[in-house]
Structure 1
Amino acid sequence: MKIKEIIVVEGKDDTSAIQRALDADTIETNGSAISEETLEKIRLAHEKRGVIILTDPDFPGEKIRKTIIEHVPGCKHAFIDKKDARPKNGRGIGVEHASPEVIRLALKDAHLMVNTKTEDITREDLIDAGLIGGTEAASRRGRLGELLKIGYTNGKQLHKRLMMFQISRQEFAEALEHVLREEEQ
């Protein structure tokens, strides 16, 4: 399987994991302090072939995403869940630990983030759904992020990602219903 877009990852181990999963080119950020030279490579890749950002599901990975969004808007985003990014020994977290199948699925489900002011789902909807505040909020957000393929978020990030990925009220309701049914079992 060959991917047209260039995949932005954090380091060499991530590139190796991508190449075990499929035929793709990568750009490595070499950490969260992305150089201007690397941002320029990402800009050029975006113009010529398109870019998919696939970073670790942790704070530095989110920081890299935000930096790229700020400097190169219009990139696609792929997410791997934390549970799929842990090594067998349980230490660390990263794309390099994900199986080839998980990587292929994440890339297949890559989304385009769009800055939008349209608010289909409000913050109050998230509170009412038990996704902000309460004892189950974090685990519900985690599962919802998995189902919608938008990654794990805190409450504030969830609202922003729902808007950026243009998740419809119906998609949100169906995913939430699925999460709540799982809790009952």
Structure 2
Amino acid sequence: MKVKEIIVVEGKDDTQKIKLAVDADTIETNGSAIGEEVLKQIEHANRKRGVIIFTDPDYPGKRIRHIVSEHVPDCKHAFLPKHMALAKYDKGVGVEHASIEDIREALSRVYEVSPDAEGNLHKGDLIPYGLIGGPLSRQRREKLGNRLHIGHTNAKQLVRRLNMFQITKDEVDRLMKEIIQEEKDGK
């Protein structure tokens, strides 16, 4: 699989793993203290070929995604669920720990940011599904994020991400009915 866009990752271990999975170029942020020079490089890469942000599913990865997105708002996004990025022998989490298949799958489900980030979903739309303010809210948001391949979020981030990636109310409704049914069935 060849990836036209340049993939923004956190470090050289991520680059090595991605190159095993796909034919792609990367830019490494070298952690969450992203320098101005790296941001300029990402901005230039985005103008020339496009950029996919593919960071670890942890706090530093989310922070890097946010910093890059703020600086280069029209980047594309790929997400890897946390359970697919866990190290086998230590407590690490990251793209470098994912399987080749999971990396390919994540990169095949890239989202583009909608120019109209306001979208059609609001926090109130998510309350009936127990995604906000309920005892199972966090688990349900995680399940929904995994099925949509948009990463794990808090309630406010979920609304923003659903709208950014133009995910419809009908799609959320369909998936949440499945998730709630599975909970009832004990899956």
* TM more than 0.5: yes
Per the alignment, residue 79 of structure 1 pairs with 79
CA contact (8 A) 1:17 1:100 kept: yes
Per the alignment, residue 52 of structure 1 pairs with 52
Alignment partner of 1:3: what SS?
Answer: coil
CA contact (8 A) 1:77 1:112 kept: yes
Whole-Å separation in 2 of the counterparts to 1:17 and 1:138:
30
Q: Report the TM-score when normalising by structure 1.
A: 0.96
CA RMSD of aligned residues (A): 1.2
Which of 162-171 and 6-15 deviates more?
162-171
Q: Report the TM-score when normalising by structure 2.
A: 0.95
1:165: how far off?
Answer: 0.9
CA contact (8 A) 1:115 1:163 kept: no
CA contact (8 A) 1:84 1:98 kept: yes
Whole-Å separation in 2 of the counterparts to 1:19 and 1:117:
32
CA contact (8 A) 1:32 1:60 kept: yes
Alignment partner of 2:8: what SS?
Answer: strand
Whole-Å separation in 2 of the counterparts to 1:101 and 1:17:
11
Cα gap change, 1:14 to 1:120, in 2 (>3 Å)? same
Alignment partner of 1:7: what SS?
Answer: strand
Per the alignment, residue 17 of structure 1 pairs with 17
Identical amino acids, percent of aligned pairs: 54
Per the alignment, residue 100 of structure 1 pairs with 100
Moved over 2 A (4+): 114-119
Where in structure 2 are the equivalents of 1:60-75 lying within 5 Å?
60-75=60-75
Where in structure 2 are the equivalents of 1:134-173 lying within 5 Å?
134-173=134-173
Whole-Å separation in 1 of the counterparts to 2:169 and 2:144:
13
